[in-house]
Chain A
Amino acid sequence: MQSVITQPKQLEATALKVREHIIKLSTDGGCFVGASLSATDLIVYLYSEFLNIHKDNLDDPDRDYLFLSKGHDVPALYGTFAELGLLEKDRLKNHLSTEDHIYWHPNTKIPGIEFHSGSLGHLPSVALGVAMDIKIKGGTNKVICIMGDGELNEGTCWEAVLVANAYKLDNLIFVIDRNHFQANMPTEDLIPLEPLHDKFAAFGAAVKRIDGHSFEALHEAFSAYPFQTGKLNVVIADTVRGKGLPSIERRADRWFCNFNATEVEDLLKELHGEAVTQLTSETLVVR
């Protein structure tokens, strides 16, 4: 693992393309745009720089694992897979088609997706089991589970932290996409999570809190893996819901979005700083 990030410009370019894919998926039925955009840089960084996962080792038991637990951010994963060659770009056009398997939550018919998700608070436990087996076998693979901050409402997330601590799983990394929103409102207005660092630390984890949109900060944090021998690694990545599209950033009413064709065109320009979108489609489509 290099200590200095070698290709920040390339990562930024990849992330921009992934965001374009997400915007293109947000029509004709729509998708969970805000949460996908907040997780984009994180996912692009992990697959590009940190994880030993590529299209030729998907069945290798010594590969690294990434579990996407909140699930509704899967457009960011589809986009990343398309850019890194794990998924043919053309298949993204099959979103919500009965001819393919690309829909609102992850499933294992997409190569590279390790487990289905969508019901919150499941994959921390599944990742725990994988990390346990790697420990038993003496392997060196890394296991990442990305969770949403809203997801942390579910008690099973915290059960997994307790058990990971008991079994000293320092090969397991829980990454929190801390975009400060759950479906309908800011997390701190409903079920406050702060001080989040202290909560995880009190449960026995080694915790790092970083800017989840800075590739340098991501690189610095993950380069320090394992953070502490015998401790669960937790990365709290502070992010912005809707990152990259000022017209929907930090907006409680733009969770699930089903934009019309004009909006999609304008949002693509907005992503490149060339326009501000006037959104006219109905807000807060809750599925």
Chain B
Amino acid sequence: MSYEELLTQTALSDERVIVMTAENRALVRNIPGKLGNRFIDTGITEQTMIGAAAGLALRGRIPVVHALASFLSMRAFEFVRTDAGIPNLPVKLSSFIPGFLSDGNGPTHQAIEDISLMRGIPNMTVFAPADEQDLVEMLPQIWACPNPSYVRINTRKTDHHHTPYQWGKAEVVSKGEDVTILTYGLLFEQALIAVEILKNEGLSVGLVNMRSLKPVDEQAILEATQTSGLTVTLEDHFLTGGLYSIVAEVLLKNQLTAKVLPLALNEKWFKPALLPNVLEYEGFTGKQIAEKILGYKTGSVQPKIAVPQFSE
């Protein structure tokens, strides 16, 4: 099932759902004809859209709102924080092309501080599914929760078959004594590749799909950091405020320490190009990730990375 199919089905079976967009229709192309006046396009007005979503939520609606990740999380930030966060209204943010997925657009479109910003808002919940199947698995619970929610939309396909989503829990794909990779979102597909390479090099490797950044699965973080020789935090996000910070917070809260290798964007925006070239340039292909962990080059072959096709 696709994102749009799930949203259509949910909205048709629940009168409370209103689908909104600030003129970004990539994810909701066919919905206007199906929902009638429960589809609202406010034009290129992210701030006004969020304010209006809060007004709709005041009246008992569940607005699912769409815009590019950078504009939803940053341009509309104060509206999200003040109009949805303070009153704890169920405004559901679907953020399109987050992280590396903005490929050739440039820094204006790079949402790589969104996790940090959104998790800083009291009442807000924050999610980053690993692929389309994971997204569709998680969304019903996200849309049903009474809080505002921020979702990094990820409609890419992987071969991985995900376990059912449990609220606030990570998906522990495998456990490993030598190294455990904690990751979320788009980079899960590269982490799968890295895990295979590391295993071929003889390591015992764990992989955790974090799924929910807030609430976060503290148990999964504690188990990984305390049972693995090395924990890797892998994210298409600034080093500040993302998963590396979350792991640090959880460890400190429990008066623990661990050997952690953060793979993130440190005080820089990434090079704009098509996604496969971005990953290669920034060192985030599965092969590059594995080799950073190993500290040496391998003869492994990086599988081809699909170019995003945001077409309808």
CB pair A119 B25 closer than 8 Å: no
Is A231 in contact with chain B by the CB < 8 A criterion?
no
Is A75 in contact with chain B by the CB < 8 A criterion?
no
For residue A153, which residues in chain B have a CB less than 8 angstroms away from its CB? 23, 43-45
Taking CB atoms and an 8 Å cut-off, the chain A residues in 184-222 that contact chain B are 184, 190-191
For residue A183, which residues in chain B have a CB less than 8 angstroms away from its CB? 23-25
Give how many B residues have a beta carbon under 8 Å from the other chain's beta carbons. 37
For residue B277, which residues in chain A have a CB less than 8 angstroms away from its CB? 96-98
Give how many A residues have a beta carbon under 8 Å from the other chain's beta carbons. 30
Bound-state CA distance A286–B4 (Å) is: 15
Smallest CB separation, B168 vs chain A (Å) = 32
Is B274 in contact with chain A by the CB < 8 A criterion?
yes
Smallest CB separation, A110 vs chain B (Å) = 11
Bound-state CA distance A89–B50 (Å) is: 43
CB pair A103 B108 closer than 8 Å: no
For residue B146, which residues in chain A have a CB less than 8 angstroms away from its CB? none
CB pair A182 B107 closer than 8 Å: no
Taking CB atoms and an 8 Å cut-off, the chain B residues in 270-287 that contact chain A are 271-274, 277-278, 280-281
Q: Which of A71, A155, A184, A287 contacts B45 (CB 8 A)?
A: A155
For residue A54, which residues in chain B have a CB less than 8 angstroms away from its CB? none
- Interface segment among B54-62, B250-258, B304-312: the answer is B304-312
Smallest CB separation, B120 vs chain A (Å) = 21
CB pair A286 B108 closer than 8 Å: no
Bound-state CA distance A234–B97 (Å) is: 34
CB pair B23 A286 closer than 8 Å: no
Central interface residue in B23, B103, B277, B307, by most chain A CB within 10 Å: B23
Smallest CB separation, B69 vs chain A (Å) = 12
Q: Which of A71, A105, A284 contacts B312 (CB 8 A)?
A: A284
Bound-state CA distance A286–B32 (Å) is: 17
CB pair B25 A184 closer than 8 Å: yes
When each residue 78-116 of chain B gets 1 if its CB lies under 8 Å from chain A and 0 otherwise, what string results? 000000000000000000010000111111110000000
CB pair B44 A154 closer than 8 Å: yes
For residue B97, which residues in chain A have a CB less than 8 angstroms away from its CB? 287
When each residue 115-144 of chain A gets 1 if its CB lies under 8 Å from chain B and 0 otherwise, what string results? 011111000000000000000000000000
Q: Which residues of B contact A (CB under 8 A)?
A: 23-26, 29, 41-45, 47-48, 70-71, 75, 97, 102-109, 271-274, 277-278, 280-281, 307, 309-312
